[in-house]
Amino acid sequence: MAIKVLERKPLSLAERTYLPQIAGGLRITMKNLMKPPVTLEYPDARPDIPKGYRGVPTLVKDPNGREKCVSCQLCEFVCPPKAIRITPGSIPEESETAHVEKAPEEFEINMLRCIYCGYCEEVCPEEAIFLQNIFSLNGLSREELVFKKKKLYEIGGTLPDQHFKWDKKRKAELSGNPHH
């Protein structure tokens, strides 16, 4: 079996000195020097957040300032990196929301584990968890980036609720018709 060796054609003087390649690189550099800069001077200039951006998951309250989360734990179950931990609690009988079975005693999201997939928001039947447009998190320790219930409500705030389900249930109970 014979091996065929291909002969290379000899390099020209320009190719041996790499002048065409250097000139091509300088041409690209000069062209880019004339363009306006694309770098944002963060934090003075903030980027435009696109619609549908999946940012930090937070808890939200209804327009009346009540907790929407009922500790169903679906978000904890569906979270791929297991970043959410919920400890269910009960609601006191004297509370105006006593007809709701549970409320979270503890709710925390480990932002170091969170992969911002949005499954928690999608699976929440009460629309209590939303991904906000926050993209910059920082902390001096790992513990600071494990957001507890209080911090999650501070970041999330209150969002409009189209359902007003608790108001309807409460009115039905007061009228004596629990199935309304």
3-state secondary structure 24-83: HHHHHHHHHHHCCCCCCCCCCCCCCCCCCCCCCEEECECCCCCECCCCCCHHHHHCCCCC
Higher pLDDT, 180 or 56: 56
pLDDT band at 108 (very low <50, low <70, confident <90, very high): very high
Return d(Cα 76, Cα 81) in angstroms, integer. 10
pLDDT band at 90 (very low <50, low <70, confident <90, very high): confident
pTM for the model stands at 0.67
Question: Is 81 within 8 Å of 111 (Cβ atoms)?
Answer: no
Which residue type is seen at 98?
A: A
Name the burial class of residue 15, with classes exposed (0-12), middle (13-18) and buried (19+) by CB atoms within 10 angstroms of its CB: exposed
Which residue type is seen at 1?
A: M
Percent of the chain at pLDDT exceeding 90: 42
Q: Where are the domains of the chain?
A: 57-168
Q: For the domain bounded by 57-168, which CATH number is listed?
A: 3.30.70.3270
What's the confidence (pLDDT) of residue 171? 56
Return d(Cα 88, Cα 102) in angstroms, integer. 7
